[in-house]
Amino acid sequence: MKTTVQTLLLVSILQMAQSISAKDSDQIKCPKTNESHMKTISFFDLKSIDHLGKDIAAFSAMLNIAEVQAVSNGGINLELSLRYEGTDSIEIHNPLYFVQYILAGSDKTQLFNNTKPPIPLINRQGPIDPNIDFSFNILGIQKNGENQNIHEQVNVPTLTFNKSDRQSYFLQISKYLNQRTRQPEDIPEGIYQLEVIFSIINAGKGANGPQSRTLKAQDISIRLQKESGN
C-alpha cells in the first residue's frame, strides 16, 4: 500500500510538471480587492475521472480571483476552494502540498515563477515552514468558513472530508526568480496570464484503493497596477 501511494504521489507531481512545461498566524489576512473585477473559475480534470470511485469524484474546485489588483497589496491574491459532496467521508493527502502555478507576462514569453518544488519533493528536517517552503504566501486557511491555524494546517499530512465540507486556501504570489540575477524579486506592475494546478490524492484504504485527480484552472488574465480602481 505504501509503495502504491508513493507512486501516485510521484505520478501526480509529474502530471503537474508536464502540464506546467506544456504551457504563523491563524487569522485571514487577505487584502481588499476590487469586487467589481472578481472572477470565479472552475477547475477541470486533466484526465477522465470515469474510472474513479464515487468519493474522490465528488470533489469540485473553484478559483476566486480579482482580475484587477493593487501592487500595494503585496502581490497577486487568489482563493482556491475545494468542496466535497460525497456520501461517505474520505481522507486525502493535503492538497496544499501539490499547488503549483505558472505566471507569465501578457505575451507569455517571460515567466514570473518562484520555482520551488512541491512539498513531497523537498528534503527537510523538522516541520514544514509555511513562510519558506512554498512558492506562494499563505494568507489564510478556512474550513467551512472558520479560520484555521496556518502552521498546524500545513503540517497535517492528510485531511478528512465529510459531505458538504469546504476547505479554502487564501494564497498570494508575491515573488519571482529573476532568471538573469537568480535573485527573488517582487512581482512588478503589468498584465499577466495565470495557470493554477493541484492534485487530490486519496489517502484512505477504500475498496478502490489509492486514486488521484489532477485539476487545472487556466487562461486567467490579471492586471497588477498601482491603484486597483485605475
Domain boundaries, given as residue ranges, for the chain = 38-225
**Band of residue 218 on the pLDDT scale cut at 50, 70, 90:** very high
Q: What are the distances in angstroms from CA 159 to CA 35, 79, 126, 143, 154?
A: 31, 18, 20, 11, 11
H helices then E strands: how many in the chain? Answer: 2, 15
Q: Is the pLDDT of residue 18 over 50?
A: no
Nearest residue to 38 (alpha-carbon basis) of 220, 181, 219? 220
Q: Is the pLDDT of residue 133 over 70?
A: yes
pLDDT above 90: percentage of residues in the chain: 67
CATH fit for domain 38-225, picks 1.10.3470, 2.40.50, 3.30.43, 2.60.40 = 2.60.40
**Contact indicator for 13, 197 with CB cutoff of 8 Å:** no
**Band of residue 207 on the pLDDT scale cut at 50, 70, 90:** low
Q: What are the distances in angstroms from CA 210 to CA 53, 106, 173, 178, 183?
A: 10, 39, 31, 39, 39
- Residue 71: strand, helix, or coil: helix
**Contact indicator for 38, 15 with CB cutoff of 8 Å:** no
**Contact indicator for 85, 51 with CB cutoff of 8 Å:** no
Q: Is the pLDDT of residue 115 over 60?
A: yes
Amino acid making up residue 61: A
pTM: 0.83
**Cα–Cα distance measured from residue 140 to residue 107, given in angstroms and rounded to the nearest whole number:** 31
- Burial label, 228 (beta-carbon count in 10 A; 0-12, 13-18, 19+): buried
- Residue 47: strand, helix, or coil: coil
Q: Is the pLDDT of residue 28 over 60?
A: no
Paired strand residues for 39: 65
Query: Cβ contacts of residue 140 below 8 Å, gap of 6+?
Result: 27, 28, 29, 30, 147, 150, 169, 170
Cα Rg of the chain, angstroms: 17
Q: What is the mean pLDDT of the chain?
A: 84
- Please report the pLDDT score of residue 59 as a whole number: 97
CA 16 from centre of chain: 11
Helix (H) or strand (E) holding 92: strand 90-93
**Cα–Cα distance measured from residue 190 to residue 146, given in angstroms and rounded to the nearest whole number:** 34
